[in-house]
Structure 1
Amino acid sequence: MLDLTYEAPTPKVIAGATSDWELVIGLEVHAQVATKAKLFSGASTQFGAEPNSNVAFVDAGMPGMLPVINEGCVAQAVKTGLGLNAQINLVSAFDRKNYFYPDLPQGYQISQLYHPIVGEGEVLVEMGNGQARKVRIERIHLEQDAGKSIHDMDPHMSFVDLNRTGVALMEIVSRPDIRGPEEAAAYVLKLRQILRYLGTCDGNMQNGNLRADVNVSVCRPGDYEKYQATQDFSHLGTRCEIKNMNSMRFIQMAIDYEARRQIALIEDGKEVVQETRLYDPDKNETRSMRSKEEAHDYRYFPDPDLLPLEIEQAWVDDIKAALPELPDQKKARFIKDFGLSDYDASVLTAEVVNAEYFEKVAEGRDGKLAANWVINELFGRLKKEDHSIEDSPVSAAQLGELIGLIKAGDISGKIAKDVFEICYTTGRNPAEIVETEGMKQVTDTGAIEAAVDEIIAANPAQVEKAQANPKLVGWFVGQVMKATGGKANPAAVNQIVSAKLGI
């Protein structure tokens, strides 16, 4: 287990004109299920296809077409629930959410309002300095995505692309446990990390595969504690929902703006209207989209074309038994097995591909040294050149070989950086580079002693200074390293110089 201190959420306090206010935030995260086919049809979910090319008859709302549930989508939802320590409901049901919009050809969205497939769970959100929050999950339900309206191709027309219509989404609904913008972003980031580890959503926010609706309200200090004691939401103030946020930075900016907007209204004697709003990042403001609908406005009712979904506990158990190692587990293991710091383990486990790369590098080697090279040398270079770990010119086997050469004393850390550069730019293996380029470290004490004797004989004045001030021994070490082209073993040089000088 991670050595963390669990704390109650610390509210972000905003000073108004008349008093202080606290934020209350809940999120509804829409995660596209990682499957090749849609929720109720066999149409492809491929991103970037020609408009309206991935559309089955049922997606287009053609008369008489009946939905057939995709078992793979159900399995991915169950897997997600298990990864979030949530209750899996063996019986769930689908409902119709009725509304009319051009990108919804059926005139309704199939969702799960009353009986979701996943019940209550939790997400551990690390806030730094060994502190963490537990954000409760209220539910996860499966639903169809809508299509996409396109307004920028022709100033006089709008177009509709139905490729996304019917794509399976998991809506992950949190309790109002989040108390500040930074915590909200950290929660979404952690949720994305878990989903990517599970392989149930690719988390690509740029493509809209992970997006969040953010519910924001403000209350006076002490009111949140009243809500916790009574579960009476009236203590939390009127909330507004900011739709379709797909950036951690914009989530924070939108929350901060919206909270201050609500505070200004209340302190001016006006009421906050419950509504759906959009965030404009160019102007850094939210603006009204529509009044917030209640469930009855959508005329929810059980979908008559779909029977209740019943799954067996044995099937759930099989999925649970096959769960991969999740981020918190992997981080704890890296700290324990490789002796890493909390920070280094966090960096290396942030993405599953990074963790897998590091583990191959560190296998049977010095974990701390491996972490240093992966994080500082490799990640630093990849970031500078805007590459991902999948595009790394240096394989895990090659970097591991380089670290092996350092530990064996064949090359120094300084030489290793030169070897790394050649390996990065040419793809050649480190051992071959060291051999053919004559970069192997000099460990022959006789050769080192000869170089030391020569430097000492040529610099009698510097010898007297070093004997009077032992800190100056480094000058001799530097001269010997220079004379040997940086190939001498630094530890051996230091030891021989000190002995020769009687220090």
Structure 2
Amino acid sequence: MTVTELVSYEDALATYDPVMGLEVHVELGTKTKMFCGCSTTLGADPNSQTCPTCLGMPGALPVVNAIGIESAIKIGLALNCEIAEWCRFARKNYFYPDMPKNFQTSQYDEPIAFNGYLDVSLEDGEVFRVQIERAHMEEDTGKSLHVGGATGRIHGASHSLLDYNRAGIPLIEIVTKPIEGAGERAPEVAKAYVAELRELIKALGVSEARMEMGQMRCDVNLSLRPYGREKFGTRSETKNVNSLRSVERAARFEIQRHAAVLNDGGAILQETRHFHEEDGSTTAGRIKDNAEDYRYFPEPDLVPIAPARAWVEELRAGLPELPSVQRKRLQADWGMTDHEMQSVLNAGAIPSILATIAAGAPSDQARKWWMGELARRANETGQELTALPITPAQVARVAALVAEGSLNDKLARQVIDAVLDGEGDPDEVVEKRGLAVVSDDGALGTAVDEAIAGNAAIADKIRDGKVAAAGALVGAVMKATRGQADAARVRELILERLAPKE
């Protein structure tokens, strides 16, 4: 089915009720792999970070990464989950080229965390509660590189290369319960949930959760059912979606695709799907296996895990301030309305604002630049705010230059544009472009005298006591100096020269 055959989103929602399930995989930021001592550092030569254990050699025995378990418990606690008093690993058996052991060490019917929830805020401020089924520990697979084709996928490739450096890296898979009742806002709920989860994971310090690097990825399960029917429809699973925008687009596309198939009397296949960033479409992958097809059985080489309750409570007490709590505190500290805070949240600006404050900028100035000029540039380029090529320290320096009088707002915007264009740090840009505010009385005096001479009628009004007319002369000086004059000092000089007649 091509994109042109889809029904409209509105028509799909007029007939069918979407039900979603989101499975998010998070790579933990441990120094070593989940069951061996191999390094997890990115960028190493292919297959240089492997050992007999993560390659599944006969006789090699796994040992559980203690930090991985601790991270899993922290995630479970932050998601309001119950933490298992006793759980164990299982073998998930299937053959795939990037699975060197031909099974994945995971958790099946006994996850470490279960039965939780996460409240997410939508763009208009509505709060939607997403129920969490489970969060379980497992290991990542290796990486396949398909060579010789046009798309980078196996279809059309001449051969494939396998890098097992990633095999065995600790993963936490967070699985929601079926998400019902979102209606037309289902894609928005999916995006908001993954966004909130990403911020929570980063706040916990257990992963950088950089989706563009595969450290966090989402499988979007979606089905449709006619309104009034209780039974869920057949689901599809769009795999490894790696951006917030793509999560929303994948859910929306699948709603339209499912509706088109059902409207034509067809049946939805339970299958995996590939998401295509270029047009937001999905294409078929493989028929989706059911749990029984994986032949799960308890991992015989690992002992069960029984976290002591005292340890769990110690971890709970040590959790950092979570994003939802932080937002409420910041809103009060910054004196913002619900609408203003929601705008900051929608822009994803909180981390950048806080980092700019930490770099020395006043909070109001940090908010001003990120929510003003920088948000505008992000919208123009279709980027997330954090992806802009400017650092919080650079924004703080721009704010400092304005505060000390070296720049005014107009010049500061030029400096920010230059930094974004790769011309260097703010001080370098100011020097190279000669953008500093002119505050020397000698230079300003000459410009003021020329403005007075060229605007005699306005000057006479000021002499007659109409001081408000000075704004026009200030504007003339600013134009003559390309916006670099110190406007406050210019006004003072004008009024000194044109003191009203006694």
Instruction: Identify the TM-score tier after normalising by the shorter chain.
Output: 0.7 to 0.9
Letter paired with 1:25: M
Q: 1:477 deviation in Å?
A: 4.0
User: Who is 1:8 aligned against?
Assistant: none
User: Who is 1:268 aligned against?
Assistant: 264
User: Who is 1:60 aligned against?
Assistant: 55
Instruction: Provide the C-alpha distance between the structure 2 equivalents of 1:496 and 1:277, rounded to a whole number of angstroms.
Output: 72
Aligned residues: 466
Cα 1:204/1:349, change in 2 over 3 Å: closer
Q: Do structure 1's residue 301 and structure 2's residue 297 form an aligned pair?
A: yes
- Look up the SS of the partner of 2:316 in the other structure: helix
User: Who is 2:211 aligned against?
Assistant: 205
Instruction: Provide the C-alpha distance between the structure 2 equivalents of 1:121 and 1:146, rounded to a whole number of angstroms.
Output: 27
Cα 1:138/1:16, change in 2 over 3 Å: closer
Q: 1:173 deviation in Å?
A: 0.5
Write the mapping of 1:220-231 to structure 2, written as runs, cut at 5 A.
Answer: 220-223=226-229, 227=230
Instruction: Provide the C-alpha distance between the structure 2 equivalents of 1:192 and 1:125, rounded to a whole number of angstroms.
Output: 12
User: Who is 1:474 aligned against?
Assistant: 471
Q: Do structure 1's residue 171 and structure 2's residue 177 form an aligned pair?
A: no
Q: 1:52 deviation in Å?
A: 1.5
Instruction: Provide the C-alpha distance between the structure 2 equivalents of 1:283 and 1:377, rounded to a whole number of angstroms.
Output: 29
Letter paired with 1:36: K
Q: 1:459 aligns with which of 456, 461, 466?
A: 456
Q: 2:239 aligns with which of 225, 243, 247?
A: 243
Instruction: Provide the C-alpha distance between the structure 1 equivalents of 2:455 and 2:283, rounded to a whole number of angstroms.
Output: 78
- Look up the SS of the partner of 2:240 in the other structure: strand
| Alignment check: 8 A CA contact 1:412 1:490 kept | no
Instruction: Provide the C-alpha distance between the structure 1 equivalents of 2:325 and 2:258, rounded to a whole number of angstroms.
Output: 40
Letter paired with 1:72: I
Using the aligned pairs only, state the percent identity.
34
- Look up the SS of the partner of 1:92 in the other structure: coil
Q: Deviations over 1:451-494 (max 9, x none)?
A: 69x94996246756999999866324434667897224179659
User: Who is 2:255 aligned against?
Assistant: 259
User: Who is 1:361 aligned against?
Assistant: 360
Cα 1:427/1:482, change in 2 over 3 Å: closer
Q: 1:48 deviation in Å?
A: 2.6
User: Who is 1:3 aligned against?
Assistant: none
| Alignment check: 8 A CA contact 1:125 1:134 kept | yes
User: Who is 1:346 aligned against?
Assistant: 345
| Alignment check: 8 A CA contact 2:402 2:409 kept | no
Q: Do structure 1's residue 87 and structure 2's residue 82 form an aligned pair?
A: yes
Q: 1:117 deviation in Å?
A: 0.9
Instruction: Provide the C-alpha distance between the structure 1 equivalents of 2:366 and 2:174, rounded to a whole number of angstroms.
Output: 37
Q: Do structure 1's residue 77 and structure 2's residue 49 form an aligned pair?
A: no
- Look up the SS of the partner of 2:51 in the other structure: coil
| Alignment check: 8 A CA contact 2:125 2:342 kept | no
Q: Do structure 1's residue 107 and structure 2's residue 115 form an aligned pair?
A: no
Letter paired with 1:32: E
Q: 1:16 deviation in Å?
A: 4.9
| Structure 2 segments unaligned to the other structure (5+ residues) | 1-7, 150-156
Cα 1:467/1:133, change in 2 over 3 Å: farther
Q: 1:302 deviation in Å?
A: 1.2
- Look up the SS of the partner of 1:91 in the other structure: coil
Q: 1:279 aligns with which of 275, 278, 285?
A: 275
User: Higher mean Cα deviation, 411-420 or 333-342?
Assistant: 411-420
Q: Deviations over 1:256-313 (max 9, x none)?
A: 3322332233233333232333334557543333332221111111111112101122
| Alignment check: 8 A CA contact 1:344 1:371 kept | no
| Alignment check: 8 A CA contact 2:20 2:221 kept | yes
Q: Quote the RMSD (CA, aligned, Å).
A: 4.3
Q: 1:129 deviation in Å?
A: 2.5
Q: TM-score under structure 1 normalisation? A: 0.77
Cα 1:171/1:440, change in 2 over 3 Å: same
| Alignment check: 8 A CA contact 1:30 1:212 kept | yes
Q: Deviations over 1:159-183 (max 9, x none)?
A: 3222121111111101222632232
Instruction: Provide the C-alpha distance between the structure 2 equivalents of 1:61 and 1:120, rounded to a whole number of angstroms.
Output: 33
Letter paired with 1:113: Y
Q: 1:319 deviation in Å?
A: 2.5
Q: 1:417 deviation in Å?
A: 5.9
User: Who is 2:312 aligned against?
Assistant: 316
Instruction: Provide the C-alpha distance between the structure 2 equivalents of 1:457 and 1:391, rounded to a whole number of angstroms.
Output: 42
- Look up the SS of the partner of 1:192 in the other structure: helix
User: Who is 2:194 aligned against?
Assistant: 188
Cα 1:356/1:89, change in 2 over 3 Å: farther
Letter paired with 2:368: N
Cα 1:471/1:253, change in 2 over 3 Å: same
Cα 1:411/1:268, change in 2 over 3 Å: closer
Letter paired with 1:307: V
Q: Deviations over 1:1-35 (max 9, x none)?
A: xxxxxxxxxxx974159x62222111101111111
Cα 1:413/1:211, change in 2 over 3 Å: closer
Write the mapping of 1:5-44 to structure 2, written as runs, cut at 5 A.
Answer: 14-16=10-12, 20-44=15-39
Cα 1:350/1:412, change in 2 over 3 Å: closer
| Structure 1 segments unaligned to the other structure (5+ residues) | 1-11, 228-233
| Alignment check: 8 A CA contact 1:142 1:171 kept | yes
Cα 1:361/1:500, change in 2 over 3 Å: same
Cα 1:203/1:129, change in 2 over 3 Å: same
